[in-house]
Structure 1
Amino acid sequence: MGSTFLTQFGVENYDGLEKYTVSSTSQSTVLLQKKKRMQEVQQELDRKKQEYKVRMHKCNEKERELAEKQARIRESVVRFERFVKENDAKRTRALKKERDESTSRMQKEQEIVALKQEHLQYTKTKEKYLRLLDKLSVFGSYIDSVLEPSDEFHEIDDVLRRHSTLTHTNKDLRQVVEQGNHEIEEMRALLTQFSKDKEDEILIATSDIAGQQKRSDFMKNENTKVEQELQYRDNAYNDRKRRLGEAKMAITNIYQRCKKGNVPHEDLNNFDRLLEYIQNRMLDLGAIARMQKECNEYKLDPRGWIHSRAQGNR
């Protein structure tokens, strides 16, 4: 049984094992010591397996988190592109509205200029009729002067003829004066109403212009805010794009360093496959490092240790 144990342990395959002497101890004591040693090795191996499982679990978690992060980044990029398109549409509508309001304001200003010119024309007409009234008032003064006593008329017929003539003339002049006064009153009423209407229109137009100016200033401020927001979004998008590019370059560089000479090349745009290859390569290198450490610790030949582990697994 002792010789069988020594054969399974691979004495002939380990050049670096420490040789135990049994000159002063019994065969059973040596066997117990070797069993204890094997138990310690097995415990260490189980611990390494557990560490390997934990690390594999962490790697899987990291891979899943990276995939979720990439999905979130892609989703953010899509949302941002949609946001940029919507902001461009809003900006176009705002600029169109600003142009329309500016055109409307210019039309209102032109209407105000036209109304002022029309008001000036009516003022000139009013002054014209006032001058005509002053001119016609001379006839009233003349009639009053004729009624005064005079030595000009010596015959009764002359006086009667003069009276008749003056009566008809007075009648005609009174009709002219009354007609002129009536026309003047009508023109004065029309001018007063027109002036009032035009003043109201000017006030309304001025109020509209002030409102249009306020809306124009508000739209300019909103347009400035939108442009600033777009600039901020563009900077954030470029930063995300740069970080994503750096991550892809880092993955590609690590893959190039981990790649073996005869291993077929992976598609450099398939980052999931590249990460999987890097993970497997890191696990292989970790296993090799742990194996080398254990061999150095127990002073074993790595090739014999691998052969012994293969027989133990069978």
Structure 2
Amino acid sequence: MPEREDDHLTPATRLLEKRREMAEVDQALLAQKEEFQMKMESLQQRREELERKECDLKEQLLKFDHFLKENDSKKARALKKADEERDSKKHKDKEIEKLKVEKSKLEKDKSKLQEKLDRFKIYHTYMEKVLEAGEEFGEMRDIIARYDTLTATHEDLLEQDQRNQEVIEKERQNLMKYSEEKDNEILSCNNQLSGLQTQLDTAQSEAVKWESAWTHIKNTAATKTLTLGRIKMAARNLYQLVKRHQRQSAEEEETHEQLAQ
């Protein structure tokens, strides 16, 4: 039906229709182009916004990293400072303790000096009274000079006494050494004497033993001599008796000599 209508249209009408259609297409294309352009602009804006956000994020990350590094650095500095303060506190505590000890020592020294000063006040008062009482010393320095002289003399006497004590001690050591040597000699002599006494006792014991043996030998010899004499006498009597009959006095004498041998 439309084609039949187009058949009744003139070329001019068709051209106008085509132009209208072309205008509509161009309008549609323009609308699409504008829409596309708007979308592209929107995308560009979003892209730029994303890039901006990315840059912001990178910047924030850099700042955060810098913050972390700075925080670590601050933490390290804080720890180092804390360690230094702790070491400083320990050092100060030691110094305080040292100062306390020194203070205590100084207070003790002060107390001792005060006590010494109190004791010296007595001498000062005494010297003032000496000056007031006599005319020997004109000023207190004269008393001090006299005291120094007496002190020097006293020290000389002490040194002399020390030397004498050293001499006495040396002589005492020599005497002890001499006594010890003599004691050793006496002990050695006593040991020798004891040995000689033992030898003497042994010799006396042996002498008694040999004397007893000698007495026994002498007694035995006397008995044997007596027996031998009796035997000799009996033999002689027998010999004389025999020779009496033979009258041989000369042979009797010879026999007697043989028996005597």
The bucket for the TM-score relative to the shorter chain is: 0.3 to 0.5
Radius of gyration: which is bigger? 2
Which protein has the bigger helix share?
2
Select the structure with the greater relative contact order (CA < 8 A; seq sep ≥ 6). 1
Return the TM-score normalized by structure 1.
0.36
